[in-house]
Amino acid sequence: MVAELTLHQRRRDPKPDELAGIPWLAILLPSERERAVPDIKVGDALPGDFVCRIGRPVTYWFGVVEGLLKMSTDNADGQTMTFTGVPPGGWFGEGTALKRESYRYNIQALRKSVVAGLEVDTFHWLLDHSIGFNRFVMNQLNERLGQFIAAREIDRMNNPDLRVARSLASLFNPVLYPGVGEVLRITQQELAYLVGLSRQRVNEALSSLQEQGIIRVEYGGLRILDLPSLRSTLFISRPHA
């Protein structure tokens, strides 16, 4: 029986529409783009595939063209702690790529996804030669810092509705995830994995947010109607029995 190919073994050259979904390519000068594009590969990740594993050395800087990934780690008790989800347009691991160190977290596909990777040597070449690329990476690092500070705050929230709201808001960050827009393609079970609550409890929180006119649940996803309220802790949570 032939062993199943790994995600790395399934890598291929990107299609034109996949390149068009990479946000930082548009800010490169023609000579910089000519240097970068040949060193971009994409892989078709299946649910459960690992893009990055704890302890593995960095070889690519990764991004999501389509689909949904989760960033997580395991604590000393063997329990999985999820940091965040990574929706379309999101690039991650720039800190690890900058330091050329091993990963301290796992990145895993929650559904079929198209993942792009830029070779780490080319990542550093762009840092050395492209002002636009440097600005993009600096913005990423700044937003990422705010994201993880917010994640610590979410972990300490006892109100499930607030946990779901703030976790959703983090997935609608226009800097980190420019490919999302106003509609996030996510199932309630996928959101439950990211938030760390049961699917039933997530469904109750989404119903409450929809009643308040903050989101609208649509087929295959969620539409944001009021992002400022989603980011706020001031909206009134519906009491549960």
* CATH number assigned to the domain comprising residue 129: 2.60.120.10
The mean per-residue pLDDT over the stretch 87-98 comes to 93
In this structure, the answer to whether residues 61 and 38 fall within a common structural domain is: yes
Contact 172, 224 (CB under 8 A): yes
Question: How would residue 160 be classed by pLDDT, with cut points 50, 70 and 90?
Answer: confident
In this structure, the answer to whether residues 198 and 119 fall within a common structural domain is: no
In this structure, the answer to whether residues 24 and 140 fall within a common structural domain is: yes
Task: For residue 182, give the H/E element and its range.
Answer: none
Q: Is the pLDDT of residue 29 over 80?
A: yes
pLDDT of residue 236: 44
Q: What is the DSSP letter of 225?
A: S
In this structure, the answer to whether residues 51 and 165 fall within a common structural domain is: no
Residues pairing with 62 in the sheet: 92, 117
The mean per-residue pLDDT over the stretch 88-102 comes to 93
> What span, in angstroms and rounded, lies between the C-alpha atoms of 226 and 211?
12
Range of the domain at 44: 16-152
Among the three residues 124, 152, 180, which one is the final residue of a domain in this structure? Answer: 152
Question: How would residue 167 be classed by pLDDT, with cut points 50, 70 and 90?
Answer: confident
Torsion sign, CA atoms 85, 88, 94, 96: positive
The domain tally of the chain equals 2
In this structure, the answer to whether residues 40 and 93 fall within a common structural domain is: yes
Q: Which amino acid is at 8?
A: H
* Residue spans of alpha helices (H) in the chain: 16-20, 30-36, 94-99, 120-129, 131-155, 160-171, 188-195, 199-211, 227-231
In this structure, the answer to whether residues 224 and 116 fall within a common structural domain is: no
pLDDT of residue 76: 63
In this structure, the answer to whether residues 47 and 146 fall within a common structural domain is: yes
Question: How would residue 155 be classed by pLDDT, with cut points 50, 70 and 90?
Answer: low
| Summary count for the chain: helices (H), strands (E) | 9, 11
> What span, in angstroms and rounded, lies between the C-alpha atoms of 191 and 199?
8
In this structure, the answer to whether residues 168 and 204 fall within a common structural domain is: yes
> What span, in angstroms and rounded, lies between the C-alpha atoms of 121 and 32?
14
pLDDT above 70 covers a percentage of the chain that reads 88
Query: Can you read off the two tokens belonging to residue 31?
Result: 């000579």
In this structure, the answer to whether residues 173 and 138 fall within a common structural domain is: no
What average pLDDT is seen over the chain?
Answer: 87
Contact 43, 75 (CB under 8 A): no
> What span, in angstroms and rounded, lies between the C-alpha atoms of 40 and 118?
5
Q: Is the pLDDT of residue 83 over 90?
A: no
Among the three residues 93, 128, 152, which one is the final residue of a domain in this structure? Answer: 152
Q: Is the pLDDT of residue 207 over 90?
A: yes
Its pTM stands at 0.83
Contact 150, 166 (CB under 8 A): yes
pLDDT of residue 59: 94
Q: Is the pLDDT of residue 225 over 60?
A: yes
In this structure, the answer to whether residues 180 and 147 fall within a common structural domain is: no
* CA 56 to chain CA centroid, nearest Å: 19
Length of the chain in terms of residues written: 241
- For residue 212, tell me if it sits in a domain: yes
